[in-house]
Structure 1
Amino acid sequence: MSVSAANPEHHRMYDVVIVGLGPVGAVFAHLLAKAGLRIAVVERVAEIYDKPRAITLDHEALRVLQAIGLGDFMEQAIAPHNGSHYLGVDGEIIKIFDPMPPPFPLGWIPNVTFVQPDLEQALRDKLADYPQVDVLLAAAGVALKQDDDTVTLTARREPGEGLSIRARYLVGCDGANSFVRKQLGIGLEDLAFDEWWMVVDTLTSDPARRPAKSFQYCWPQRPGTFVPGPRNLRRWEIKLLPGEDPDLAGAPDNVVKLLKGFTDISDLTIWRSAVYRFHALLGQRWRDRRVLLMGDAVHQTPPFLGQGLCAGIRDAVNLAWKLRLVLRGDADEALLDSYEIERKPHVRAVVASAKEFGKIIGELDPVAAAERDLRLRAELKAGTAETIRQKFIPDLVTGLIARDVVLAGRLFVQPHVRAPDGRTCRLDDLLQGEFAIVTAAAEPMAWLSEASRAAWQHLAGERVVITTSGDSADANGILSVVERDGLFAEWMRQHGATAVIVRPDRYVFGAAGNADELNMLVGQLVQNLSAWH
């Protein structure tokens, strides 16, 4: 990465220009750079924002960070999110989210907390390993235009220096006030959630003082949330009440007063406090020919499911491989339409759940709150309440997946495996991030017809056998590994599958039980890529 002062006009043409180097833009830049694409990133501000904003990640986001080479860093940077207790009017539990028990389906703890500036610094440092990435800081986009083949971004650096950057595609990762979205004139659909909350990040001198668990204070007189972050970071989110002025609420003495309503603050130093408007918004279009939007630029969610940044990272991993295939000629550019088709219903479902939890937490009517407590306690007692947070994250329901085929649209599991060199690692660390056919025994690999094998080779597809015993090897283009916990074997058995086709973003295209089904799926995939509609 050159943090370039040179005018990028010297370069003939970029594959992709990214507007915005927040965490979503940075993850997206990594995924494209890893694929060898030539990219420019334009970011309005020079420095990383040094305070935490997002504080939670899930196992799907961690798996993407693993894919770009930050797995070891994340191991050190995260703390487990040990679940949430929702406390009713009387201070007793009305709803519970428990941590998912191991073995973890995606190879990572399903919910964790992290410190955003640390992650952003790691993302930028590692981007420096890629010579074909130009990062232009303190450069603000002022105009964009596109024709049949290219997008041209006009950006301005101080003092008044103009830049013109040309690329095959442009992706706006430039946040809620997105310049790119506004340039395209794309409106936002209001999903009817609008509340003012104060977020207070503190550092404790006594980390053992509070439970290592989140609490949702479902108190009509003042709803709030407590989230323990990694190391000594502790966060409270506090709802502003009707009639409270958001501009005045953030005054330091008021922050202290509100915080004292939830905890003894003698061990706390306030690191940051900010008043936010929690919104639920969804972009009406995610693509305009050669320009696409992702992250907060095209959707915003209230934080009650901890999915804001996770949703943006899902966007990045969904679009990156599709752009890669289109740019290298392995897919028709119509494939890019599947990005919105897949991601939009997913975001809509996640926002709906986040809103639902926000309404539970934020109820201000004491009568309604008492009724809520009775209802939720009864569900908890009857065992009908879903207590695993990840169950509220949907699968893919449409797009580039096999229709009406078992496992299609589900996330592929990630077992810990013994590699051919003897070390134990997560499966994805041994893969290239292309399409993969994965089987639980060596025999089904022989099911591939000549045509399927040729098509697979053309796609640079991988072939992987995961067994529960025997030897690991990498021979004849087939990677054979032995898994540690029986996770994959059990998953395949449960779904009656013998072979599974996995997309580069680790969603399942479809599963097969016999040779005919497998060859049919390969044929269907190839056809879909060349004429996606």
Structure 2
Amino acid sequence: MTVDEATRVPVVIVGAGPVGVTAALLLARRGIRSVVLERHQDVYPLPRAVATDDEVRRILQAAGVGEEFTAIARPANGLRLLDARHRVMAEFRRSEHGLHGYPQTSMFDQPELERVLRDALARRPECELRGGVEVTGIGPDTTGPVRVTYRDDHGEHELWADAVLGCDGANSLTREAIGAVWEDLRFEERWTVIDVRTDAAVRCWEGVDQVCDPDRPATFMRVSEDRYRWEFRLQDGQETVRELVAPWLPPSYDGDFEIVRETRYTFRARVADRWRSGRVFLLGDAAHLTPPFVGQGLCSGMRDAYNLSWKLARVLQQGGDERLLDTYESERKPHARHVIRLAVAMGWAMTGGQDGAAAIRRRLLAAACRIPGLTELAGRDLSPPLPAGPLVRRKVRRGLVGTHCPQPWVSVGGRHTRLDELLGDSFTVLTATEPGPSLTALAHGLGVRAVPVTDLNDDGTLAAWLRAGRADAVLLRPDRVVMDVVPAGGRDFTDTAAWAALLHTTHSPLPPRRTAEKSLLRSAIR
């Protein structure tokens, strides 16, 4: 097939929401050009997602907008379960200093996040955003580039892409194009979502409240200095917004009360049966839908973008094997399903269901919340270890493999920075001691350096992490997941043959970016 070079691009991204733009930025930082096609000309002005976790803040850092997001985000305390009389049943505290170097829960305004991301996109020469267009066709599957057709005010157009990322939401054309169908995880409820701006002294605890009342389940949170969100399951009555939110307001309050948005949603729990066909991929709501009760809808999509972007860049630019792309779905789908089930469980905890056993379930929930240590266990990180696979060389059930490396602040050569900013975007070998010849050779084959954690001058976090994991060294993937370990007393990674063929680990140059940081790191480890 001969394709006009004027219409050939490495990656087409369908949808310029947070997931699509983040994917474009992550690819751009690895030198991959993309065209983003979006039906809207500008950022959607009304708030939707309002919460994120520390892992996603680390992803935003990797996309180059970490500081900009910090300026518009505010930490939150976590989650409380309240009974029908708004008495606290359980409290799931979230720390201001999570594993990834950020508050474990942050509140934000989605239009502000989208503006930050689009401003960053406009600064990247590798990215082009085409707004006000309607994508009309994708595919069919071929062994060569994928054809994408779209129309705008000037007529019909086509692009040919080495890969297509469908970030086009719940009604995804991309999902339809690859023949994927929904697997229903059996949760569907109609809720009303109300965003309010007011100067009233609204009663809140600077976190998220879930009211576990089968007659009127509700969610409440403070989003910004003067903006709040309520969510209520729809009832037959016609209560006004003031009547719905009255329990949180001062008695007889009649001051300013601006309704920013009032809309109705159907919360669903679904997973697409497949996330890939050839070089066409599904991300975000195109691949999975989760009820909002654990605040992970947007977070799951951002994890999709981070997981896929480095693998796709490796295949397109660095000779990675096509099988590397198979690990996107095999790694992300189990986690997405896990998060959806947690959200569904929280939904049942809030409502208790409507059958004869509802009262029994509510009593069991209240009793469980009083068990010492249970709330701490339930409030742990929402990102469990990745399942074992080609890029997760798990030898024992528990250990560091498949988990994330922490991100402390480090000091090297007089520079104080976050760990990821120093290490860059590629693989990294972190060692508890000076690396031996075999580790040095492996790192050289990956085009990276083996870095002793003692040279990074952190607060002891990394050394303690390696000791707790009984590891003398770890191989970190570009997404900071531990891929393999050298156990304490060991000499080398023992499973290199299993993943080397996927990465084509013959000697390659260091990634062509961050020259100053690479020089700084080289000087630190000489």
TM-score w.r.t. the length of structure 2 is 0.88
Is 1:493 aligned with 2:467? yes
Alignment correspondent of 1:471: none
Of 310, 329, 339, 1:340 maps to: 329
Q: Which segment is superposed worse, 211-220 or 514-523?
A: 514-523
Is 1:133 aligned with 2:114? no
Alignment correspondent of 2:407: 414
Is 1:29 aligned with 2:24? yes
The 8 Å contact of residues 475 and 483 in structure 2, kept in 1 or not, is answered as: yes
Is 1:507 aligned with 2:481? yes
The 8 Å contact of residues 210 and 219 in structure 2, kept in 1 or not, is answered as: yes
The 8 Å contact of residues 447 and 518 in structure 1, kept in 2 or not, is answered as: no
- Structure 2 residue identity aligned to 1:508: V
Alignment correspondent of 1:395: 385
Q: Unpaired runs of 5+ in structure 1?
A: 1-7, 468-479
Assess, with a 3 A threshold, how the Cα gap between structure 1 residues 517 and 292 changes in structure 2: closer, same or farther: farther
Q: CA deviation at 1:519?
A: 3.8
CA-to-aligned-CA distance 1:349-398 (integer Å, 9 cap, x gap) = 11111100011112255985654454333333331423353444322013
State how far apart, in whole Å, the 1-side matches of 2:449 and 2:393 are.
19
Q: CA deviation at 1:435?
A: 0.8
* Secondary structure of 2:374 counterpart: coil
* Secondary structure of 1:504 counterpart: coil
* Secondary structure of 1:318 counterpart: helix
Alignment correspondent of 2:351: 362
State how far apart, in whole Å, the 1-side matches of 2:192 and 2:202 are.
25
Q: CA deviation at 1:525?
A: 3.1
Is 1:254 aligned with 2:240? yes
State how far apart, in whole Å, the 2-side matches of 1:20 and 1:380 are.
41
Assess, with a 3 A threshold, how the Cα gap between structure 1 residues 329 and 212 changes in structure 2: closer, same or farther: closer
Of 282, 300, 318, 2:271 maps to: 282
State how far apart, in whole Å, the 1-side matches of 2:178 and 2:356 are.
46
Q: CA deviation at 1:13?
A: 2.0
Assess, with a 3 A threshold, how the Cα gap between structure 1 residues 283 and 99 changes in structure 2: closer, same or farther: same
- Structure 1 residue identity aligned to 2:245: L
- Structure 1 residue identity aligned to 2:268: H
- Structure 2 residue identity aligned to 1:428: D
State how far apart, in whole Å, the 2-side matches of 1:366 and 1:259 are.
27
Is 1:322 aligned with 2:311? yes
Alignment correspondent of 2:286: 297
Alignment correspondent of 2:452: 465
Alignment correspondent of 2:320: 331
The 8 Å contact of residues 204 and 268 in structure 1, kept in 2 or not, is answered as: yes
State how far apart, in whole Å, the 2-side matches of 1:285 and 1:206 are.
47
Of 415, 426, 447, 2:418 maps to: 426
Q: CA RMSD in A?
A: 2.3
Q: CA deviation at 1:101?
A: 6.5
State how far apart, in whole Å, the 2-side matches of 1:26 and 1:70 are.
11
Alignment correspondent of 1:481: 456
The 8 Å contact of residues 211 and 217 in structure 2, kept in 1 or not, is answered as: yes
Is 1:197 aligned with 2:191? yes
* Secondary structure of 1:341 counterpart: helix
Alignment correspondent of 2:153: 158
Is 1:228 aligned with 2:222? yes
State how far apart, in whole Å, the 2-side matches of 1:502 and 1:348 are.
25
State how far apart, in whole Å, the 1-side matches of 2:301 and 2:62 are.
16
Is 1:404 aligned with 2:401? no
Assess, with a 3 A threshold, how the Cα gap between structure 1 residues 51 and 529 changes in structure 2: closer, same or farther: same
* Secondary structure of 2:294 counterpart: coil
Alignment correspondent of 1:73: 68
Alignment correspondent of 1:44: 39
Assess, with a 3 A threshold, how the Cα gap between structure 1 residues 76 and 499 changes in structure 2: closer, same or farther: same
State how far apart, in whole Å, the 2-side matches of 1:218 and 1:348 are.
23
Is 1:185 aligned with 2:179? yes
Q: CA deviation at 1:186?
A: 1.1
Q: CA deviation at 1:328?
A: 1.7
State how far apart, in whole Å, the 1-side matches of 2:31 and 2:318 are.
14
Q: CA deviation at 1:212?
A: 1.6
Assess, with a 3 A threshold, how the Cα gap between structure 1 residues 520 and 309 changes in structure 2: closer, same or farther: same
The 8 Å contact of residues 212 and 349 in structure 2, kept in 1 or not, is answered as: yes
State how far apart, in whole Å, the 1-side matches of 2:23 and 2:282 are.
12
Q: Which segment is superposed worse, 326-335 or 23-32?
A: 326-335
Q: CA deviation at 1:82?
A: 0.7
- Structure 2 residue identity aligned to 1:504: P
- Structure 2 residue identity aligned to 1:499: A
Q: CA deviation at 1:70?
A: 1.1
Query: What pairs up with 1:363-378 in 2 under 5 angstroms?
Result: 363=352, 365=354, 370-378=359-367
State how far apart, in whole Å, the 2-side matches of 1:364 and 1:509 are.
41
TM-score w.r.t. the length of structure 1 is 0.87
State how far apart, in whole Å, the 1-side matches of 2:186 and 2:11 are.
34
State how far apart, in whole Å, the 1-side matches of 2:428 and 2:225 are.
38
Of 197, 205, 218, 1:211 maps to: 205
Alignment correspondent of 1:472: none
Alignment correspondent of 1:174: 168
* Secondary structure of 2:350 counterpart: helix
Give % identity: 36
The 8 Å contact of residues 105 and 487 in structure 1, kept in 2 or not, is answered as: no
Alignment correspondent of 1:308: 297
